[in-house]
Chains A and B, each alone.
Chain A
Amino acid sequence: MAIDLTKADRTLVNEIIELGGEDILKCFQCGTCVADCPAATAEMPLRIKKLIHMIHLGLRDELLEEDSVWMCVTCTACEERCPRGVKPFEVCLAIRRWQAKEDPTYIPPALGEIFKTGHTQNVANVPELRKSLGLEEVPPTVAKFPELLKKFQEMLKCSKIVQEYGFMFGVG
């Protein structure tokens, strides 16, 4: 499909910079980031170089469709090796934040889980196993101290994401 640059959105690049992709304008499209990216081996590959180009061109609708960015392994090889200091991994996170803002169906359900229990895994759910190893039945994390979990939740209620999408967190 031909790209229609008359629809280019010049504000897109600033939105991504604002969300953490601050060095995105340094990219000169060499492709080092893609060369050793595990997720670039997928059939529908993550090509962070291409996504950065899309942002430079202001291709808003196309960027919103690119769920490949959620495949990132977070190994940060791209960030280590980028000769221009673009920090492609940070750009990856910034694109995800932008997508979650534009389309809340992108917001990972794990956010609600962490809000509810403090963890991505239910650490309070394996008391027998932990006891059999000679450990405390519930580990000394926020899972063990309800009053601290409450404070943790109060803190997160100050965040934009919980304020805007309270229903995802069982709030409001």
Chain B
Amino acid sequence: MIQLALVIDLNVCVGCHACVTSCKEWNTSGEAGYMSDDRPYGEDPTGNFFNRVQTFEVGEFPNTETVHFPKSCLHCEDPPCVPVCPTGASYKRPEDGIVLVDYDKCIGCKYCAWACPYGVREIDEHQKVMKKCTLCVDRIYDKSLPQAERKPACVMACPTNARLFGDVHDPDSEVSVAISENGGYALMPEWGTKPANHYLPRRKTRIKIHDDELMRADNPLKKEGVRPKPDVHEPSLDDVTSW
């Protein structure tokens, strides 16, 4: 079974919001209709977004880290929003695991939004239906696009390559390897929703340098530090030089 998902690398995300704007641009121009905005240039703007980048500060000054945190639908493997839908408008596609809303069946009761702990569903105040990230389902299967562009708009837009897209059920896929090799994790594991999207944590790259790596005790060129004095009959580093 295929489970398409995003893997978001918090170590790389710089919080530029390019994924937010490209998501809005692609989805508001899509065949499913616009994503409504109200008073976009007014005092109290509001609108529909499928993807947001939030910023958190971890630690206390001066030992702080700024974590930029993109959040969109996690396409849970056990999505709590799907069984509560009274009409069946909210569904999980068996063929690729994408959680979608059938806008023609949705009655706009908002119960699915209550049933999502992550707050990734938003009602469209004008079309009066529930909307959410579609993993760009109208893009990733589009044969008219070159293979390299059959990815969600947010993934295409990310300038630091912090967003990876692929099948998390295929152990050899780029996303699965990234999750297993870099400690990928799911959000709010306490509710058993098994989110398909994973996040890669902040990682520190440290290198441990031992003294003998700076001061080579057996430096054959004898240019630095304490010179070893092996016996003339003992084998040296290369079995050739001795003194």
Chain B binds chain A? no
